[in-house]
A and B are shown apart, each in its own frame.
Chain A
């Protein structure tokens, strides 16, 4: 496979593989997946070479690492009918190779001797077979500290000096994952150059041709290639500044291309003809908004391509207005409790008996006041909700309800004192039940352990500012007036 932008890399790797160093580190901070596939194809086309390509994400325990490497190097596929047995040497089957590093390295030596022996039978060519272990996402190996160092010096430890080499591929710098105390030898580092816009375009075109060859269908026909090129260059031109990963761009393009080509074919009358240049330009211009929109919802994977094409509503964390009124009040109270400093509650909500009904609007000047040389305080909404005790939530809830709900018609005659009725309402068991229900729904977060007995439970708000605004609008609560810091 000749991937655009990887020619120099492929040349270098091919040269290196003629006599590979024991430890090679390939760093690609932009498109490691493409690099991995390029390297894989280079390795699979190399002569006299056995290689194991493992992904450190998938092989997350030493045993998995050992088994995957040995099976791949021995070109052994576990079969269900054999009980999925791993590879083992024919005559000396008294040991499983995956128990420890020592046995793993014995396994490597056994494979090497196997290769050499069979090579002698077949001819001299296979005699000096190289073994290459290629580990993708090598930064994940950090979670197996006992494995990392031996892998980096595997050739030396397994005494397969010139025949074994280990290649790490990662998007992280070697300096970031290097084991401490210089335990690993420094690798020979190969940096992969970032892809340019042209490379990305070429990559996408090559991908189109590959799909046409492998899986021809209506939308993917080689005769559409000129039109596809135009389409791709338009999409890449719009979206390349936002991501440089051709795979992401390909996903966005794949969602739209069938529609585009469908629209284009509807424009022309006869079969097997492409629309002329003005029509193409017009089509491209009409598709431009959807290119942007598609990228914005498909790149973060807010929805998947099929749903997006049918423009189904996206499943977001948008506030659901189906919650009961009390739930909304509680959530709003929790948002206020998490955003405002506790000391400000009295100024925000407190008022004397006679002031009832009068709104006292107090606006805080949170970040504004600032002495010289002092570090400005970061608004609470940027550093996340702060935890608050349950009592405070209930108090704020009471104040909110008292301000915004008119219970006086329902209140019995006996309750003369203003707020008495509300106090009774918010201290009902139902409210506490609702709070714990919201906690289970993860709209509130409990930060203390459930089995902790002393002190009130401490909670945290888990809804966003937008959600809080929405609830406030539905309840008719002037939220902006109740927040200490202005947004």
Chain B
């Protein structure tokens, strides 16, 4: 239920967002119940428009102000800035005709008004408030910073609209809370971290209704409804049904299936198969027999099997411990069609779930699919036999094309498509939800917990209003809408909170993004020991010389030559040579083998016993730039010189 409530409070920003991005596109008539799909898909362009608008502000600031002037009074302050940006959007040069824009302006204005009246939500400006306005609100009265903003309409924002995290609270955070409560921050922060992590693990449940508020009904709900109907038809009316649940990874396919199954009125027999675990038909059939046995308590096709066993000779090499009963339980592969055709004869209807359906289509002759779908097709409602439903779950788009003709013709062709949430708001709402998970009340000091809760919430709000944060989220969202990505980002974010910086910030998020999403290929090159760095530099020189593949001998040769060259000068400091440090060959070999183990050096030829290990050819996966930066970071003068030495 909490979810629902969140969703409804979210309506504000979402609706506004829609009008914001669509103001110039959608006709003003379909103001509120607008067809949302058009709008959402233009997300990217909306973003560019925002950027354009921001660049435009300086030029058109005066126009905007005069536009806003009369509207200031009756509305909530913080939304004014929002409508201001709306105006900017409309005035932005993304549309060819300026006249058209001007004529449309009033109607767009009307849209905004209606929205404002509907949702005077305080969370509204979260995404759009710029960092500058936040900074201002943190230091109230510091209007000395205003000139730097150069935007008249922006400069008015703080006076007119103190955003939600009131200056007082923020001040408390920036000055009071953290230092004075350092002792208390630790336990509370720990509890908060754990609470957030727990919330993250049960994330999918909280997500159901967040997705597309601006559609009449989210796509996944429609799918769920359809699947629910289908299964009910099978269970109650005895129809044989087959369908394919298709959608990108992490879009909630399995969850929909699980929910629908739990909604089914009678308790059907459920057989779950996965293309990953049952990678051939024999395994699949064993699994079916097992699951049937577990759920019905009867073993099927036992008699035939016994006969077969009696005929066969005893194989002394088979592991016979515990397999005798197994053998009794499991029919031989030739009885697969027979086993599946017993499904309709059971007392209860059966639902077969094929996870990774596309992999089953790769089995030879698609025998399992053929048998299942054939049985489904021959199910007749009202014949007194139990029905069978087959649900395929896959993320591969061309799955139906993989099916053989005879299999395809038996498949109903019903494809239910799930999807990710298509607007960023779903994500921001989720972030808000997850981060503001309350911690369980602390018995010994409830006040402190409450104070913490308050401060935490304020800081989360500030965090979400940060422009950098929304930019980061938007960038990630543009690449992958998978909710699991967001989960990993938030986990990374939460784990980065320490007692010295206990509240989420954009820098934490960007660190999490670079750790989880934009991983450096080889992050810690600078921490490598000296022989390893030498080998890598030798690699780079070898590559420059045109030898992409190398043997250990080649690298070692380059290294020894470099050492000789650098120690050639007869200069000594404090009795020691100033050249590069020597490194014995076996130590170098050890470093080389470590690289092979961590796959920084990849073997390019099949390893044979004929080639001794120092002559096996390898390729290096480290790039020149990464190494250059790493060497610079080590501050090792000799290595730096060698690295930059032309050869």
Residues of A participating in the B interface, judged by any CB pair closer than 8 Å: 12, 15-16, 18-21, 29-30, 88, 93-96, 99-103, 105-106, 139, 146, 149-150, 153, 156-157, 159, 162, 171-173, 175-176, 182-183, 185-186, 188-189, 191, 193-194, 240-244, 295-297, 299-300, 302, 375-376, 378, 381-385, 445, 447, 460, 462
Contacts and interface: CB of A to CB of B under 8 A. Distances in A.
A462 B276 contact: no
Contacts of A102: 277-278, 283, 286-287, 290
B197 interface: yes
A19 B610 contact: no
Interface residue tally on B, bucketed by range: 35 or more
Contacts of B546: 375-376
B587 A150 contact: no
B147 interface: no
29 contacts: A16-B197, A19-B200, A21-B200, A29-B598, A102-B278, A156-B254, A157-B355, A173-B519, A173-B599, A183-B276, A188-B487, A194-B527, A240-B529, A241-B581, A244-B528, A244-B529, A296-B586, A296-B587, A299-B590, A375-B546, A376-B545, A378-B554, A381-B553, A382-B551, A382-B554, A382-B557, A383-B615, A384-B553, A447-B610
B488 interface: yes
B276 A383 contact: no
A171 B283 contact: no
Contacts of A93: 322
B306 to A, nearest CB: 15
Contact of A384 (B250, B495, B551): B551
A241 B287 contact: no
Interface in B550-604: 551, 553-554, 557, 581, 583-584, 586-587, 589-590, 597-599
Given A101-B277, A296-B587, A241 B201 contact: no
B539 to A, nearest CB: 14
Interface stretch (B110-118, B323-331, B368-376): B323-331
Contacts of A106: 290
B612 interface: yes
A220 to B, nearest CB: 28
Contacts of B524: 29-30, 191, 193-194
A445 B610 CA distance: 7
Contact of B190 (A15, A378, A447, A462): A15
Contacts, number: 167
A157 B277 contact: yes
Contact of B615 (A15, A100, A384): A384
Given A176-B599, A382-B551, A382-B557, A21 B274 contact: no
B586 A242 contact: no
Contacts of A94: 322, 325-326, 329
B302 to A, nearest CB: 13
Provide the main secondary structure of the chain A interface. loop
What 4 pairs between A and B have smallest CB-CB spacing? Answer: A384-B615, A300-B586, A375-B546, A194-B527
Contacts of B397: none
Interface in B596-638: 597-599, 610-612, 614-615, 617
Contacts of A297: 586
A383 B553 contact: yes
Contacts of B468: none
A186 B484 contact: yes
Interface of B: 190, 193-194, 197-198, 200-202, 249-250, 254, 272, 274, 276-279, 283, 286-287, 290, 319, 321-323, 325-326, 329, 355, 395, 484-485, 487-488, 491-492, 494-495, 515-516, 519, 521, 523-524, 527-531, 545-547, 551, 553-554, 557, 581, 583-584, 586-587, 589-590, 597-599, 610-612, 614-615, 617
Contact of A19 (B190, B197, B319, B583): B197
Nearest to B356: A183
Nearest to A192: B524
Contact of A241 (B494, B529, B589): B529
Given A30-B524, A105-B277, A150-B277, 5 more contacts: A18-B194, A29-B524, A153-B276, A171-B597, A191-B523
Contact of B587 (A146, A171, A242): A242
Contact of B590 (A19, A95, A300): A300
B584 A296 contact: yes
A282 B290 CA distance: 75
A100 B286 contact: yes
Nearest to A188: B488
A302 B197 contact: no
B484 A15 contact: no
Given A102-B283, A384-B553, A244 B201 contact: no
Nearest to A184: B276
Contacts of A175: 519
B587 to A, nearest CB: 6
Contacts of A30: 524, 527
A172 B276 contact: no
A240 B531 CA distance: 11
Given A300-B589, A383-B551, A384-B612, A21 B491 contact: yes
Contacts of B395: 182
A272 to B, nearest CB: 37
Of listed B521, B554, B597, residue having the most chain A CB within 10 A: B597
A308 B588 CA distance: 20
Given A146-B279, A176-B599, A375 B584 contact: no
A185 B254 CA distance: 14
Nearest to B491: A188
B16 to A, nearest CB: 33
B68 to A, nearest CB: 46
A465 B78 CA distance: 81
Contacts of A462: 612
A243 B529 contact: yes
Nearest to A379: B557
A244 B598 CA distance: 15
A295 B587 CA distance: 9
Contact of B529 (A100, A242, A382): A242
A287 to B, nearest CB: 18
A150 B276 contact: yes
A35 to B, nearest CB: 13
A172 B201 contact: no
B619 to A, nearest CB: 13
A375 B249 CA distance: 47
B485 to A, nearest CB: 8
Nearest to A20: B201
Contacts of A162: 201-202
B198 A18 contact: yes
